[in-house]
Structure 1
Amino acid sequence: MDRLLSMRVFERVANEGSFSAAARALDMSPPVVTRLVADLEEHLGTRLLQRSTRRLSLTDAGLQYLSRVRNILQDIDEADAVAHSQTTELAGLLRLHAPPVLASYVIAPLVAEFRKRHPKIFIELEVASMREPPIEDFDITLLGTDDSFDADVVARKVIESEAILVASPAYLKRQGTPQRPEDLVQHECLAQKMPNSRSRLWRMWCPENPTQPLDIDIQPVLIANHTDSLLRATLDGTGITSVAMDIVAPYLSRGELVRVLAPWITGRLMMYAALPSRKFIPQRTRVFLDFLVEETRLQNAKAMAVSSSESGN
């Protein structure tokens, strides 16, 4: 027996005053309505309705049961409405997870504009570097990876970017601008800490000839496992570093950093937004994801335009 359905049918019969009227209101056949009420009575072990050829009335047990049933059904309907609103309304808490570099350079700069558009959506951001983040615990988990990404998760690609070489105008004025990749061995380079001594080797590609990478054996003046530190040092004029285009885009647009050795790149990077499930994605998650994709691609396009104009000068 579907107990909840039987309770709803019983309530409607009591409201309508007849089985036939309840059947029409519920779009059921009268025999089905009669059977569901009978099943409920059998389950409860008591008669809820007094039936006669002229009228239908509630027993004392039926009156007491109907009072409780109405409250229960109202609570269920309200709970359904709350859950439904979480999926359809642009309101509520949006829980995000991101590694530090993406939290600082991708999520944080977007919060103010997103909140202007959707003031009823509140954001909770958890920042942590984890090899296997708890995707199921968050509405969106940002993942930064290279082009070999093949994880078994529900994920949407946010942006495909390139790692490029940048330096501050002050550094280039002081040390000069490298004209070819081999010139990097004479420059002060800042490198990301990598396993197996890869920090001292930059593999570079030219888009015009991507099948022939060039390995440059550099002598870094700074090696760090923290992108913020490398970027800060680069902005301060310490040297040349490799960084993702979408992260450095605002600095290129403002002229605080300059791309060097364009169109050479040092890698291809992807940013994905992982979701806990394909089903019942809240509307607030959808609008934030669309906003994230739109804004990051716009910033990336601006950075590419700036770096292209610089390389053409």
Structure 2
Amino acid sequence: MDRIDAMRAFIAVVNEGSFTRAADRLDLSPQLVSKYVSQLEQHLGTRLLNRTTRRIHLTEAGTRYHLRAVQVLNDIDDMENQMGDMHTEAKGVLRISAPVSFAIRHLAPLLSDFQKAHPAVSIDLQLNDRKVDILEEGFDIALRIGQLKSSSLVAKRIAPIRLVMCASPAYLAEHGTPENPEDLSGHRYLRYSYMDPAAIPEVLQWIKQTTPSRGSGMVSNNGDVLVEAAIAGAGITLQPSFISGSAIRNGQLQVILSKYEPEPMGLYAVYAHRQLLASKVRSFVDFMDGYFGDPPYWDRFD
């Protein structure tokens, strides 16, 4: 048994949800894919998949093995692609999807520096806060912010994204500064409509105790608008520091409830696959790594 082939077969079955679809993806017969997985289970001495006539389910051992196997095969693919990239110049059109506010505030210098380092690459940047389908819409790479769920896409974490609750000093002077989550009751809240409740459930639970349901507050699908409204004294908002950081630094906004700050989310570079990855994509992902600093420059307001 070739363990690498068996691992690839197992991962394909998990990602595709069936032996037949995995076989189509790998250009193998379903029987051979099934044989690979069975041999892998025999080699490990444990069952990785529970099979029924309609579905397959990972066992506990299968879940653990899948995570490690993906990492191992990604490392192998990385090593082989890096050897090939030594002889391949990054070139062509790089199509990028990125969140609106982040791109407007922070992406232009990076793109300029990247093109200076890779002059044969041209950039097609599309801004959109919705989650684009990379394959269907023809993007090479998407920048996404959040707590990413597992998928067949490859995601590289580029930088942490802090969420800070803040308001203008004038608003807090008039309405009081909350010291605990319970103190949010009665305040006006400026809510971002695309906020993922699963990413910050505790914070959104506190927000439910506030008064927007009684007509006080604001909802928008753009964080810049909400930050500008907060600066103008319209209420309290929970926003990424890459939007609010400069206003906090110059005193236009004041951080509140800092000890209740949610766990940071992440800025991720997401792309379709590692195998035979185009040099333009790999070069861009590598160029982004560490570009914004550690911590990112927009967080240097504490």
Q: Do they fold alike, i.e. is TM over 0.5?
A: yes
Q: Normalized per residue, which structure has more strand?
A: 1
Counterpart Cα distance in 2 of 1:123 and 1:279: 22
Give the drift of 1:228. Answer: 2.8
Counterpart Cα distance in 2 of 1:288 and 1:236: 38
TM-score when normalising by structure 1: 0.55
Give the drift of 1:190. Answer: 0.7
The number of residues matched between the two structures is 212
State how 1:52-201 maps to structure 2 within 5 Å: 88-108=88-108, 110-115=110-115, 117-135=117-135, 137-146=138-147, 149-193=149-193
Work out which of the residue numbers 258, 267, 273 in structure 1 matches 2:269: 273
TM superposition outliers: structure 1 runs of 4+ over 6 Å: 84-87
Report the structure number with the largest CA radius of gyration.
1
Q: Secondary structure, in 3 states, of the residue corresponding to 1:152? A: coil
Of stretches 166-175 and 155-164 in structure 1, the one that deviates more from structure 2 is 166-175
- Give the aligned partner of residue 210 of structure 1: none
Indicate whether 1:233 and 2:234 are aligned. Answer: no
TM-score when normalising by structure 2: 0.56
Counterpart Cα distance in 1 of 2:297 and 2:118: 25
Give the drift of 1:153. Answer: 1.0
Q: Give aligned-pair identity as a percent.
A: 28
Contact persistence 2:134–2:271 (CA under 8 A)? no
Note the alpha carbon deviations across 1:189-235, whole angstroms, 9 max, x for none: 2112369xx7xx97339xxxxxxx86761113112233232122123
Counterpart Cα distance in 2 of 1:292 and 1:150: 22
- Give the aligned partner of residue 218 of structure 1: 210
Structure 2: which amino acid aligns with 1:295? Y
Q: Secondary structure, in 3 states, of the residue corresponding to 2:185? A: helix
Contact persistence 2:134–2:272 (CA under 8 A)? no
Q: Secondary structure, in 3 states, of the residue corresponding to 1:172? A: helix
Consecutive unaligned residues of structure 2, counting only runs of 5 or more, are 1-83
Contact persistence 2:241–2:298 (CA under 8 A)? no
- Give the aligned partner of residue 70 of structure 2: none
Consecutive unaligned residues of structure 1, counting only runs of 5 or more, are 1-83, 206-212, 308-313
1:276–1:193 distance in 2 versus 1, CA, 3 Å: closer
